[in-house]
Structure 1
Amino acid sequence: MSQRVRGVISRAKGAPVELTEIVVPDPGPGEAVVAIQACGVCHTDLHYREGGINDDYPFLLGHEAAGVVEQVGPGVTEVAPGDFVVLNWRAVCGQCRACRRGRPWYCFATHNAVQKMTLTDGTELSPALGIGAFAEKTLVAAGQCTKVDPAARPAAVGLLGCGVMAGIGAAVNTGGVTRGDSVAVIGCGGVGDGAIAGAALVGATTIIAVDTSAEKLAIAKRFGATHTVNAAATDVVTEIQKLTGGFGADVVIEAVGRPETYKQAFYARDLAGTVVLVGVPTPDMTIELPLLDVFGRGGALKSSWYGDCLPTRDFPLLTDLYLQGRLDLDAFVTEEIRLDQVEEAFEKMHGGTVLRSVVVF
């Protein structure tokens, strides 16, 4: 029998979000209903509200979430009622050409719940990233549920569902950062700080945080940055070279998604170094680089999709490291808020004063 719960929706481009009643159907084949315990307020949710993703309004926002499986549909074996899970937006299919090549983190046919959640008048909702977790309960594909240790704090490990995992994965999975490497991270929001934490976790010895905000640079040190560069006051490429013996960093992670910062990343890496783009550009952005420089500097230019993560592998591992005190996920949680404070959290994003506001149920 379907359930009525509270959820936060976006009805129209740029309009304030609304807390309203939504209808969550019983799970069908391959689906699960999850009672949400915590959900981070990610910039992607603001992109949905602003029409930056698509125009399939109304949206049910929220996607960085942890909770407890309440019901499962026919054929579900991955999870069972009572399991504590972190939700992911890339439930791998196991059948596409990427999965068949043994690279499921690139799955080209990820899936979501087939049924739709609705408003009480029957209007279908588009769940953000196929999740829609600014709600007391949500319907997802069972493959979007990853079991982790229930001893973990939901507000902290739920952030693995998007931004923090994107950052850690950009460093460790995409960039291949390893012990002794030098790393520069341009943009020290939640994703950038995740990349710094990931680089520190695997033993990078020089970790350079780059931002225009002195406050953000100070926070970056908490996650393992050994040096900081204020891009508002100095030349980024020159400073990174100075801090790496004049050569440039082995890996430069661009977590802003702008042409000018990407160019900084390109020229701030060492010969044969790696650039990782994890910041998300807008459709109108273009970049021009001398082709001879692309050839002459060698190395690799990579894009990182969701930190090239495999949730079934990475979420439990990072949760265990968190519980062991080796990965401070709590430091990403700036504040805990109520479900009716999401719009206020969006406003705080513009000021750059929070890493994550987290809705706690």
Structure 2
Amino acid sequence: MQQVKAVVAMSKGAPVEVVTINVPDPGPGEAVVQVQSCGVCHTDLHYREGGINDEFPFLLGHEAAGVVEAVGEGVTDVAPGDFVILNWRAVCGECRACKRGDLQYCFATHNATQKMTLAEGEMAGTELSPALGIGAFAEKTLVAAGQCTKVDPEARPAAVGLLGCGVMAGIGAAINTGGATRGRSVAVIGCGGVGVAAVAGAALAGASPIIAIDIDAKKLEKATELGATHTIDSSTTDVVEAVKEICGGVYEGAEGADIVVEAVGRPETWQQAFYARDLAGTVVLVGVPTPDMKVPDLPLIDVFGRGGSLKSSWYGDCLPSRDFPMLVDLYQQGRLDLDAFVSEEIGIDDVEAAFEKMHHGGVLRSVVVL
């Protein structure tokens, strides 16, 4: 058992606190990781606000990179000293998806069995709920060994750790789910961290044109830096007509983009995505809706008549053991600018201030460096 400093959300809506927690020694199939960096993601804010569930207190943080310190019995894929990116989908290898070879869709992903706990005060011994099964706003964390993916140790932790959630979700939404490639057009609605990553993924795959859509000029500027060939300010422009005009100017007769990635998670933007795609095109929902949101009232003949696919993308349909090392190698080669996603590096005491900055849209990612 070790005691370390960590960021915990004690109750719904309350400011986060830096407290001391207990981290157990790793048991069978588990690993203790010394965290080097962890991105501040909107999902962590959703946990703090009670938007995920009410299993407080939460140990926040999940977009992380670090070094394996110790492993438990039976762990063979990683060893102490390995530089790893943490993921929140350790595949089981036994469910029906895994057995048919679709490990990226594993229906029984798992986390560490043991629980980290509060170490001090009246609530000492209280079990913590780690965000997405990771809990990495901490000097060290306990995870399932399958949540550790070994990558190039020369890579910058603050940059590659972001593959642990948002950046992988966006890149994967464009490439893995949407099938972006040469000769296909891509439009991305919503250019926060996930949406801009989808733009970068489309560019990496050679898609063109790549259309970035948002109401924030700074976000559209960042999307252009990462590969967007066109931008649309949706506060002043009809998105559907603008996408049709751009794509029709490149591919004669096109009635929209081949792939439209919706990275907002709202009914009205999903409806824009539906009508902004070409015939037989694909809509990819990667923005996370709230439970009360409903699919827009669409004429069924439009669903039938346009053909194509309406998909959702969970974690970019990624397989960490396949995708993380490849993307880190592309980063190391200068072909994928992960540094562009790091808006600032902060300390463990600055997470609450980073949440506040999210409301103003001025950062892609604040990254806690330990």
**2:162 counterpart letter in structure 1:** L
Deviations 1:153-194 (A, max 9, x none): 000000000000000000000000111211000000010011
Instruction: Choose the corresponding residue for 2:212, options 204, 209, 214.
Output: 209
Q: Which residue does 1:16 correspond to in 2?
A: 15
Point out where structure 1 has 5 or more consecutive residues left out of the alignment: none
State the identity %. 77
Q: Which residue does 2:359 correspond to in 1?
A: 350
CA drift of 1:290 comes to 1.0
**1:79 counterpart letter in structure 2:** V
Deviations 1:279-303 (A, max 9, x none): 0000000022111100000000000
**Aligned-residue CA RMSD (Å):** 0.5
- Write the distance in 2 (CA, Å) between the matches of 1:270 and 1:180: 13
Q: Which residue does 2:49 correspond to in 1?
A: 50
Point out where structure 2 has 5 or more consecutive residues left out of the alignment: 249-253
Query: Any idea what SS the aligned residue of 2:171 has?
Result: helix
Deviations 1:290-346 (A, max 9, x none): 111000000000000100000000000000000000000000000000000000000
- Write the distance in 2 (CA, Å) between the matches of 1:161 and 1:54: 21
Q: Which residue does 1:106 correspond to in 2?
A: 105
What is the correspondence of 1:76-95 to structure 2 with a 5 Å cutoff?
A: 76-95=75-94
Q: Which residue does 2:251 correspond to in 1?
A: none
**1:342 counterpart letter in structure 2:** V
Instruction: Choose the corresponding residue for 2:302, options 278, 284, 293.
Output: 293
- Write the distance in 2 (CA, Å) between the matches of 1:42 and 1:215: 19
What is the correspondence of 1:212-251 to structure 2 with a 5 Å cutoff?
A: 212-245=215-248, 247-251=255-259
- Write the distance in 1 (CA, Å) between the matches of 2:109 and 2:224: 36
- Write the distance in 2 (CA, Å) between the matches of 1:68 and 1:100: 31
Q: Which residue does 1:267 correspond to in 2?
A: 275
**1:103 counterpart letter in structure 2:** D
- Write the distance in 2 (CA, Å) between the matches of 1:326 and 1:105: 24
- Write the distance in 2 (CA, Å) between the matches of 1:336 and 1:237: 37
Deviations 1:104-149 (A, max 9, x none): 1000000000000000110000000000000000000000000000
The TM-score normalised by the length of structure 1 is 0.99
Q: Which residue does 1:258 correspond to in 2?
A: 266
**1:9 counterpart letter in structure 2:** V
The TM-score normalised by the length of structure 2 is 0.97
Number of aligned residues = 360
**1:276 counterpart letter in structure 2:** V
Deviations 1:187-207 (A, max 9, x none): 000100110000000100200
**1:186 counterpart letter in structure 2:** I
- Write the distance in 2 (CA, Å) between the matches of 1:106 and 1:51: 27
- Write the distance in 2 (CA, Å) between the matches of 1:291 and 1:92: 37
- Write the distance in 1 (CA, Å) between the matches of 2:300 and 2:10: 45
- Write the distance in 2 (CA, Å) between the matches of 1:36 and 1:65: 7
Q: Which residue does 1:146 correspond to in 2?
A: 149
Deviations 1:216-239 (A, max 9, x none): 101110110000000001110010
Instruction: Choose the corresponding residue for 1:307, options 307, 316, 320.
Output: 316
Asked whether 1:200 is paired with 2:174, we answer: no
- Write the distance in 2 (CA, Å) between the matches of 1:24 and 1:63: 16
- Write the distance in 1 (CA, Å) between the matches of 2:315 and 2:332: 23
Deviations 1:230-268 (A, max 9, x none): 000111001000101151000000000000000000000
- Write the distance in 2 (CA, Å) between the matches of 1:326 and 1:278: 24
Query: Any idea what SS the aligned residue of 1:276 has?
Result: strand
Query: Any idea what SS the aligned residue of 2:283 has?
Result: strand
**1:124 counterpart letter in structure 2:** E
**1:258 counterpart letter in structure 2:** R
Asked whether 1:62 is paired with 2:61, we answer: yes
CA drift of 1:56 comes to 0.2
- Write the distance in 1 (CA, Å) between the matches of 2:270 and 2:6: 37
- Write the distance in 2 (CA, Å) between the matches of 1:280 and 1:5: 32
Which segments of structure 1 move beyond 6 Å, counting only runs of 4 or more?
Answer: none
Instruction: Choose the corresponding residue for 2:189, options 186, 189, 211.
Output: 186
